[in-house]
Amino acid sequence: MQEIIGDLWSYQGRGVLVLTTNGSLTRAGRAVLGRGCARQAGERYPDLALRLGTLLRDHGNHVHELGDELVSFPVEETAWSHPDPRLIRRSAEELRALVDRAGFQLVIVPRPGCGFGGLSWPEVRPLLADLFDERFLVISAPEAGGDQGG
């Protein structure tokens, strides 16, 4: 796992971008893309909320390939709950399995649950360190040192 500072979106087209997400759906079946990188992705990809919403409805709050070299990474059960370290660990395990299975060579992950989520990087880092190898870049925003999401 490499730790870097920068803009998640500057890696678009160079690797798989991970979006920190939650498991909430609107009445219309769209995922709630409330803040951070999930919200930014929803602005860039207007159909993303529906794509993720369908996956959440059919398969639950798990890591999902979303198309466009995007992958969801649940950090919260709902859009109104706090990040859950157990969910972050499970998502890290699922992401690692997906990366191995799909053969992804570069995966850019915002610090999950940090930033808007309120967790500190020293408490989250150990949840990822043994799972994320050299293919994983964990990125934090330069102005906040946060996760650009979560």
Whether 150 is covered by a domain: the verdict is no
Chain segment 76-129, per-residue pLDDT in tens:
999 999 999 999 999 999 999 999 999 999 999 999 999 877 899 999 999 999
CATH number of domain containing 21: 3.40.220.10
Whether 148 is covered by a domain: the verdict is no
Question: 9 pLDDT exceeds 60?
Answer: yes
Token pair listed for 41: 């992705």
| Model confidence pTM above 0.85 | yes
Whether 70 is covered by a domain: the verdict is yes
Task: Specify the amino acid at residue 62.
Answer: H
Instruction: Domain count for the chain, please give it.
Output: 1
Question: 144 pLDDT exceeds 80?
Answer: no
Q: What pLDDT is attached to residue 89?
A: 98
**Which DSSP letter does residue 31 get?**
B
Range of the domain at 104: 2-140
**Confidence class of residue 4 from pLDDT cuts 50, 70 and 90?**
very high
Q: How far is CA 142 from CA 6, 51, 125, 127, 147, in A?
A: 6, 30, 18, 22, 10
Whether 75 is covered by a domain: the verdict is yes
Chain segment 130-141, per-residue pLDDT in tens:
999 999 999 998
The rounded distance, in Å, linking the Cα atoms of 141 and 150 is 13
The rounded distance, in Å, linking the Cα atoms of 130 and 134 is 11
Chain segment 12-65, per-residue pLDDT in tens:
999 999 999 999 999 999 999 988 899 999 999 999 999 999 999 999 999 999
Q: What's the chain's average pLDDT?
A: 93
Token pair listed for 17: 């971008």
Whether 146 is covered by a domain: the verdict is no
Q: What pLDDT is attached to residue 35?
A: 85
Whether 45 is covered by a domain: the verdict is yes
The rounded distance, in Å, linking the Cα atoms of 90 and 141 is 24
Q: Could you tell me if 26 and 32 are in contact, meaning their C-beta atoms sit under 8 angstroms apart? A: yes
Whether 145 is covered by a domain: the verdict is no
Q: Could you tell me if 150 and 113 are in contact, meaning their C-beta atoms sit under 8 angstroms apart? A: yes
Q: Could you tell me if 3 and 138 are in contact, meaning their C-beta atoms sit under 8 angstroms apart? A: yes
Whether 74 is covered by a domain: the verdict is yes
Q: What pLDDT is attached to residue 143?
A: 66
